[in-house]
Amino acid sequence: MKLAIGCDHGGLELAQAVRDYLKQRDIPFEDFGTFTKESVDYPLIAVKVARAVASGQADLGVLICTTGIGISIAANKVKGARASVCTNEECARMTRKDNDSNILCMGGNVVDAATGLKILQAYLDTEFEGGRHARRVGQIAQIESGEI
């Protein structure tokens, strides 16, 4: 499994905890930044991660901004991206299991590092269930392509 990760200045501290966690577990990732507290525009980070995931360059993505909301909205503009804001482990499990989410979004001001890492682990450990959920994920793709 390879991840694509990115953050803006509001998610920098949580992103550093994620980077450290992935390194400790030898999980490969491509890091699209940012690396300083200097203000950056989160849509530009989100699109890089979302395109990496949608193209298959990465299996899953992780995006972090102040709340996780703005960066998820931007990521979801990329065809094939299914970015979900998660604030707890149950949300992380359910968005993978039911929605086949391929990008985890979190907020640096919403979850602390310990909670964020638990959310990340739950997200990574959960597989898409398929079945009736596959039909719904297919319908999301039809909305994206204009068929619905």
User: DSSP letter string over 101-115?
Assistant: --EEEEETTTS-HHH
Q: Tell me how far apart the alpha carbons of residues 47 and 74 are, in angstroms, rounded to a whole number.
A: 7
Mean pLDDT for the stretch of residues 35-56: 97
Give the residue numbers marked as catalytic. Answer: 65
Distances from the Cα of 66 to the Cα of 8, 13, 14, 86, angstroms: 8, 10, 10, 13
> Per-residue pLDDT for 76 more than 90?
yes
- pLDDT, residue 6, reads 98
pTM: 0.95
User: One-letter amino acid identity for 31?
Assistant: D
Share of the chain above pLDDT 70, in %: 100
- pLDDT, residue 64, reads 98
Distances from the Cα of 123 to the Cα of 38, 82, 85, 126, 131, angstroms: 29, 13, 11, 6, 19
Q: Tell me how far apart the alpha carbons of residues 145 and 148 are, in angstroms, rounded to a whole number.
A: 8
- pLDDT, residue 63, reads 98
- pLDDT, residue 144, reads 87
Q: Tell me how far apart the alpha carbons of residues 145 and 9 are, in angstroms, rounded to a whole number.
A: 33
16: tokens are 């550093």
Helix (H, G, I), strand (E, B) or coil at 61: strand
- pLDDT, residue 146, reads 87
> Per-residue pLDDT for 19 more than 90?
yes
Kindly indicate the confidence band of residue 45, based on its pLDDT and cuts at 50, 70 and 90. Answer: very high
> Per-residue pLDDT for 58 more than 90?
yes
pLDDT tens sequence across 100-144: 999 999 999 999 999 999 999 999 999 998 888 999 998 988 888
Listed in sequence order, the residues at least 6 apart from 2 whose beta carbon sits closer than 8 Å to its beta carbon are: 28, 29, 30, 57, 58, 59
Kindly indicate the confidence band of residue 74, based on its pLDDT and cuts at 50, 70 and 90. Answer: very high
90: tokens are 């149950």
